[in-house]
Amino acid sequence: MQNEISEKLKGQRASKNRDEVISLLQKQSAPIAVDDIYENIKQFNNKISLSTVYRIIEKLVNLNIVHKVTTLDDNKALYEIVKDSHTHHHYMICVKCKKMIPIDDCPVKELEKSIADKTGFNITGHKFELYGECKNCAQKHS
Ligand SMILES: [Zn+2]
Ligand SMILES: [Zn+2]
């Protein structure tokens, strides 16, 4: 487990279920829904329940180990592991197939700094998402 995560877990009770959720999240290349986390873990741990996974995720969000990612469809929250406190991902979200494609750089960083300088507002976070059609879906039109 990453040092930063064990640091954040300090003082928390050890939990095998929690560690399984964390290691599954670390393997994902895109944000994942709680249902899918549950389906994955259930394959090798049949004692885990969906409500346990929900509880674990809620706790991990509070500990800033996991991020909730907003999507067009608010009913389906997706989660991803916080890579480290200084880098984060933004996504291009395809409205057709719901695929989420990460953007490497943070396009808001500079803007954020200049707004903070201008206004004195202490900015602690931001959200930035692009919606549209991915390459595959866009090709289907032509
Ligand atoms: Zn698409
Ligand atoms: Zn950013």
pLDDT in tens, 16-32: 999 999 999 999 888 89
Distance 129 CA to ligand 2 centre (A): 9
Confidence (pTM): 0.66
Distance in angstroms (rounded) separating the CA atoms of residues 108 and 135? 24
Work out the average pLDDT over 56-66. Answer: 92
Count CB neighbours of 12 within 10 A. 13
Torsion of CA 9, 12, 15, 18, to 10 degrees: -50
How high is the mean pLDDT of the chain? 88
Average pLDDT rounded to a whole number, residues 108-115: 90
* Proximal ligand: closest to the CA of 89: 2
Distance 69 CA to ligand 1 centre (A): 18
Average pLDDT over residues 33-56: 95
CA of 86 to the centre of ligand 2 (A): 10
Q: Quickly count: other Cβ atoms within 10 Å of residue 57's Cβ.
A: 22
Cα 77 → chain centroid: 9
Q: Which amino acid is at 116?
A: A
Which domains, and CATH codes, for the chain?
Answer: 1-85 (1.10.10.10), 89-142 (3.30.1490.190)
pLDDT of residue 9 exceeding 80:
yes
Q: Nearest ligand, CA of residue 87?
A: 2
- pLDDT higher than 70, residue 85: no
For residue 109, pLDDT over 80 is answered with yes
Is the predicted pLDDT of residue 69 greater than 90, yes or no? no
- 3-state helix, strand, coil split of the chain in percent (to 5) is 40, 20, 45
